[in-house]
Structures are given as structure tokens and as C-alpha cells.
Amino acid sequence: MLRPSAHPYASFSGMGTGQPLLLVLSAIISRTSLIGNGMMTPRIPLEGNLKSFPKDLYFSFVGSPMPSKKDVIRDLRKILGEEAVEDDDLAIKIYSEDASLFEGNAIAVVFPTFTSQVSALLSYAYRNDLKIYPQGSASSLVGSSTPAEDGIVISLSRMNRIKEYSVVDMYAIAEPGVRLVELNEV
């Protein structure tokens, strides 16, 4: 039976267990058992990348504290390298606004150069419940690349390689930091 719940992550409790419905469904999906206090324990070994799924869910439900700004900066530098992370006030101010009238605030601005770095960054942000704000050239007039809340601005400006193009077939494969003016010059 479903009934209203005060739990912040679900609007109903699940199946008379007193557990939030989302937690119950997560336990079913991830093949785990619920213990009375909301903890999940593995029942059946999982295969592949799903093995870490219950642990990630458990920490997000228990409400593990968000890492401090200092910890986030340290971790980002480990992932991307020292030169790819900016956390000074000026850089944050510059990248927390675009051509619109909106302003935001970021924890840090990062400059990945490879897809693998973006992937690692997104995994880190997901595990730590951090918001991300990707930016191309930040020329938006509607504030779409402005951080609405504290998070990480991902500037894609260093991912600026044109991988392949054909004038005859009228196509190009380019990274997200390539500007149209640069593409037109090729």
C-alpha cells in the first residue's frame, strides 16, 4: 500500500515497509535487501558497472554531506590536473555570467581537453551530488550557461579540435569548443 511520506526524496512510502518508495524500488532494481533503518545490503552479486549502483544510492539517501569547496577543488585537480581548474574569484566571476543579464556563482571553473576528462568529471559530480554547468563560448542571451546554484562550470573552450570535415559532403565532426567562425575558415 502506498501512503504519503515526509521523506524528501519520495512522495510515498513503499509497500508497507515504511521505507521511501524510491528506496524500495532501488532495492528491487539493484537486487538488494532493505534493513529497517534504510540501509541496503546486497542479496545477489551484480555484474558489470552496476555493482557500485546500490552503494551510490545508499549514500545519496543517507544524505552524506556534500564535500567542502576545498575538497571539491582538490578532487577536480586530481581528475583534470592543476592547470585545468580555476577557483579564484575573478575566474569564477567571469564564468558565472554570459551575454544575458543573469549572474550566478560557481564553486570552480574547469577546462577539460578530452572526452575522457569530461566523463570522469561527470562521474565525480554525480557521486557527490554537484551541479554542472557546461559552457561553449558563453554567448547565450537567455542565461542557459549561467550557474543558477553553486556548482561546477565546465568550459569546453579547450575542446576545440575539428576532427573531420568534407566540403563536398557538407559535414563536419568537431568538438564542442569549436566556434562557427573557426569552422567556416576550414
Average pLDDT (66-79) is 93
Strand order in the sheet with 131-135: 85-86, 108-110, 151-155, 131-135
What backbone phi and psi angles, to 5 degrees, belong to 165? -160, 160
What backbone phi and psi angles, to 5 degrees, belong to 162? -95, 110
Per DSSP, 142 falls in state S
- Asked if 177 contacts 160 with a C-beta cutoff of 8 angstroms, the reply is yes
Average pLDDT (142-171) is 86
Q: What is the DSSP pairing of strand 19-20 with strand 32-34?
A: unpaired
Per DSSP, 67 falls in state P
State how far the Cα of 131 lies from the Cα of 186, in Å rounded to an integer.
Answer: 35
pTM of the model: 0.60
Handedness of CA 139, 144, 145, 150 (dihedral sign): positive
For 13-58, the pLDDT digits (tens) are 344 444 444 444 444 444 444 444 444 444 444 444 444 444 444 4
pLDDT at 11 over 50: no
What 3-state class would DSSP assign to 174? strand
What 3-state class would DSSP assign to 111? coil
- With cut-offs at 50, 70 and 90, classify the pLDDT of residue 64: low
Q: What are the structural domains of the chain?
A: 3-62 (no CATH), 69-155 (3.30.43.10)
Handedness of CA 73, 75, 78, 81 (dihedral sign): negative
What is the per-residue pLDDT for 71?
95
What is the per-residue pLDDT for 164?
95
